[in-house]
Amino acid sequence: MSMDFEPVIGLEIHVQLNCETKMFCSCPNRPGDDPNRNTCPICLWMPGNLPLFSREALEKATLACLALHCEIQKESAFDQKVYYYPDLPKGYQLSQFHKPLARNGWLEIIGENGAPNRIRIQKIHMEEDVARLVHEYEGRHPVSLVDFNRAGVPLVEIVTEPDLRSPSDAMEFLRLLRMQLRYSGSSDCSMEQGTMRVDANVSIRPRGTDVFHTKVEVKNMNSIRNVGDAIAYEISRQADCVKAGEPVVLHTRLWDPDKRVTSPMRAKFEGPCVPDPSVPLIVIEDEWLETMKSRLPEMPAHREERFVNAYGLSRDEAVLMSSDRELSEYFDSVVRFDVSPRLAAQWISAQLLPLFKEHDENPADSPVTPERLAGLLAMIEREEINANSAREVLKKLRDGRSSAQQIVDECGYRQVSESAELDALVDRVLEENPSAVENFHKGAAKAMGFLMGRAMQASGGKANPRLLKEIMTKKLG
């Protein structure tokens, strides 16, 4: 990218709400099932049917808007976005164009320079997803198949202001957005699964000016990293255009994740939007809105602050512990059993997260419940076992039902803190390794590590390391 240009980026993000049913009928919201299983006369739009707007869709959409600090509009309404395509069974998509559910939201990202940067969200509206088209061959004849499982699945579309200035801004914004929405419980937000789809509008302008130039829309990115890469590619492509004296033309481009380039796609058809006469006007009452607000959990930024202030976590520990709602709730529960919050955070991040990942588990349904983990951490705090043994105990906690205490007792992990016993052990180790002792006295600090290792080994890993070192140092001294 040339230093002369500044990119201007806005995002349009479609997020699938994790409702039980579709938006206008009671079909299950499970687009991945066998084709055309989850359909009914309403979502197939058979003649004579009328859309029945789902309360849950409104609730989840509202939670999503609140999580993005939007103002919920007193009145919102559905329009018909008209276009003809076999993925759209009625010739129009029910979407909110003239009266969206929410406006004026924001998220505060930390920019590349480390300073906070508030990114404005222009509006969020609800809409139904369309069917999925599958293009195949029957012998030599191309056929197009329509899977209506996805038709009518509830979505919100989030439209930002063109406030982003770099690919990394965009990626940071998306990560934050995803975290907020997952916290709100309204969506899984997986770009890989297609429950979050991002289009980026990119333009460039001479640095220091504030006009907007022709934008190009980039689509088809299936990960946050790809969004960053596609934007970066598009910025340099436009800069090359400008340097070569070619005009940037308004159009849509597709990101090719294999070739890592964008290429132009068919001209995008923008249909008109007319008010829908069948879906009633949505009027939000204050009392209902308060109920929705009360359903939002403590959001990540607050939770992070609380973890720093109330629990004394470091900033990095607090960020990690608050990054995921389930994880943060797990952490909170562990701490409630009166164990050191920092010890808990360290054990969760270094030991438990890899374990969850290995077994593809969520914190909430792991057999290592907060109570059982707290039992183990308490023993570490009381120096009843050392870290090595504790890692073994943790594995056994995951695989069995016994408490940490029981495992330690049954397997003999209890730490040896008896001075007499350790005294004898150290004597024996020093006696068996005269050359190491000699080296130590010659000033080789490494020899101490070697001797400690031997002593620990001799104890079967159960020696209290602090006490062991004390004795060893004294005897060598």
Binding to another protein by CB under 8 A, coded x per residue (else -) over 53-72, reads x-------------------
Find the part of the chain contacting another protein (CB under 8 A) among 80-88, 248-256, 416-424, 451-459: 80-88
Q: Is 144 in the site for another protein (CB under 8 A)?
A: yes
Sign of torsion, CA 466 471 475 477?
A: positive
Find the part of the chain contacting another protein (CB under 8 A) among 1-9, 38-46, 252-260, 406-414: 38-46
Q: Is 80 in the site for another protein (CB under 8 A)?
A: yes
Q: Is 283 in the site for another protein (CB under 8 A)?
A: no
Binder of another protein out of 13, 19, 27, 44 (CB under 8 A)? 44
One DSSP character per residue, 140-198 reads TEEEEEEEGGGTT-EEEEEEE-S-B-SHHHHHHHHHHHHHHHHHHTS----TTTTSEEE
Q: Is 92 in the site for another protein (CB under 8 A)?
A: yes
Find the part of the chain contacting another protein (CB under 8 A) among 49-57, 173-181, 219-227, 454-462: 49-57
Find the part of the chain contacting another protein (CB under 8 A) among 120-128, 155-163, 270-278, 453-461: 270-278
Binder of another protein out of 7, 10, 31, 51 (CB under 8 A)? 51
Binder of another protein out of 104, 122, 146, 403 (CB under 8 A)? 146
Q: Is 116 in the site for another protein (CB under 8 A)?
A: no
Paired sense of beta strands 216-221 and 251-256, if any: parallel
Residues 287-326 within binding reach of another protein (CB under 8 A): none
Q: Is 82 in the site for another protein (CB under 8 A)?
A: yes
Nearest distance in Å: CB 57, another protein: 13
Q: Is 284 in the site for another protein (CB under 8 A)?
A: no
Cβ atoms 155, 14 nearer than 8 A: yes
- Does an H or E element contain 453, and which? helix 446-458
DSSP label at residue 31: T
| Three-state SS letters, 46-98 | CCCCCCCCCHHHHHHHHHHHHHCCCEECCEECCEEEECCCCCCCCCEEEECCC
Nearer to another protein, 126 or 471 (CB): 126
Nearest distance in Å: CB 47, another protein: 4
User: Quick one: how far is CA 129 from the chain centroid?
Assistant: 22
Nearer to another protein, 145 or 448 (CB): 145
Sign of torsion, CA 182 184 185 189?
A: negative
Q: Is 84 in the site for another protein (CB under 8 A)?
A: yes
Q: Is 450 in the site for another protein (CB under 8 A)?
A: no
Q: Is 267 in the site for another protein (CB under 8 A)?
A: no
Alpha carbons within 13 angstroms on the beta-carbon side of residue 362 total 7
Coil, strand or helix at 347: helix
Q: Is 265 in the site for another protein (CB under 8 A)?
A: no
Cβ atoms 176, 116 nearer than 8 A: no
Nearest distance in Å: CB 85, another protein: 8
Nearest to 373 by CA among 404, 351, 349: 404
Q: Is 52 in the site for another protein (CB under 8 A)?
A: yes
Binder of another protein out of 4, 75, 91, 400 (CB under 8 A)? 91
Q: Is 275 in the site for another protein (CB under 8 A)?
A: yes
Nearer to another protein, 51 or 100 (CB): 51
Find the part of the chain contacting another protein (CB under 8 A) among 110-118, 272-280, 306-314, 419-427: 272-280
Binder of another protein out of 23, 61, 230, 279 (CB under 8 A)? 279
Q: Which two tokens stand for residue 300?
A: 């990540």
Find the part of the chain contacting another protein (CB under 8 A) among 3-11, 44-52, 196-204, 321-329: 44-52
One DSSP character per residue, 370-435 reads HHHHHHHHHHHHTTSS-HHHHHHHHHHHHHSSS-HHHHHHHHT---B--HHHHHHHHHHHHHH-HH
Q: Is 443 in the site for another protein (CB under 8 A)?
A: no
**Residues facing 109 on adjacent strands:** 117
Contacts of 403 (CB under 8 A, 6+ apart): 372, 375
- Does an H or E element contain 226, and which? helix 224-243
Binder of another protein out of 14, 30, 69, 90 (CB under 8 A)? 90
Query: What CA–CA distance (Å, rounded) separates 417 from 467?
Result: 7
Nearest distance in Å: CB 277, another protein: 4
Find the part of the chain contacting another protein (CB under 8 A) among 12-20, 88-96, 169-177, 185-193: 88-96
Q: Is 45 in the site for another protein (CB under 8 A)?
A: yes
- Count residues near another protein (CB under 8 A): 30
Q: What is the CA radius of gyration of the chain?
A: 30
Coil, strand or helix at 11: strand
CA dihedral 334→339→345→347, nearest 10 degrees, is -90
Residues at the contact surface with another protein, assessed by CB under 8 A: 41, 44-53, 80, 82, 84, 86, 88-92, 144, 146, 271-272, 274-275, 277-280
